[in-house]
Copies of this chain bind each other. A is one copy, B any other.
Amino acid sequence: MTKASEARDRLLAAAGEIFYREGIHAVGVDRLVSEGGVTRATFYRHFPSKDDLVRAYIEREDAALRALLEAGATQASTPEEALELVIQGISTDIAQHHTRGCPFINAAAEFPDSKHPVRVAVKAHREWFESTLVDLLTDAGVDDPAATGHALVLLRDAALVGAYLDGPDVVVPSFVSTAHQVIAD
């Protein structure tokens, strides 16, 4: 577990907001420390470099989505209900919080090297998300859960990107109906 630290939490929270809203290479350490209410020394005490803060930001987004899915999984009584909760959870998440696209896709756009820690973290997130969907689809008895799971991952990508570039009002309903269609087979 990461050590508890108010300053670290403040910095990471501010960085998450700014990185998502304005991009990663576009914001400097000056912005990060001033908006985080933290000094440069404190920054580099907790993160060896800016890249490490970026990786922590990606892993934080990953953890948030895992929590979202786990909440749905424990709340549901059937696999079908769990799938429905996942779809609804993603929809409200897109409409309310992730209005600037997919944090993982956006980060990947800025890091072309697939071996960079940020890209590795993005890959890990996508693999977890897909395998979790495949498990749910298998439990629900869907035909070809592997292909359906992959299709749902792509659908979520499209929904997040589309909500950013075309607006959520058109895209989110389209995502919900297409997701149902894909699951129903």
Chain A contacts to B: CB under 8 angstroms? 21-23, 25-26, 100-101, 104-106, 108-112, 122-123, 126, 147, 150-151, 153-155, 157-159, 161-162, 164-166, 170-171, 174-175, 178
Contact = CB atoms under 8 A, between A and B. Distances in A.
Complex copy number for this chain: 2
A154 B126 contact: no
Contacts of A170: 150
A126 B110 CA distance: 21
Given A157-B158, A157-B161, A26 B23 contact: no
A123 to B, nearest CB: 7
Contact of A174 (B108, B147, B166): B147
Interface of A is mostly: helix
A33 B7 CA distance: 42
Nearest to A22: B112
A154 B150 contact: no
Nearest to A26: B25
A89 B155 CA distance: 21
A152 to B, nearest CB: 11
Contact of A23 (B25, B122, B166): B25
Contacts of A110: 23, 25-26, 109-110
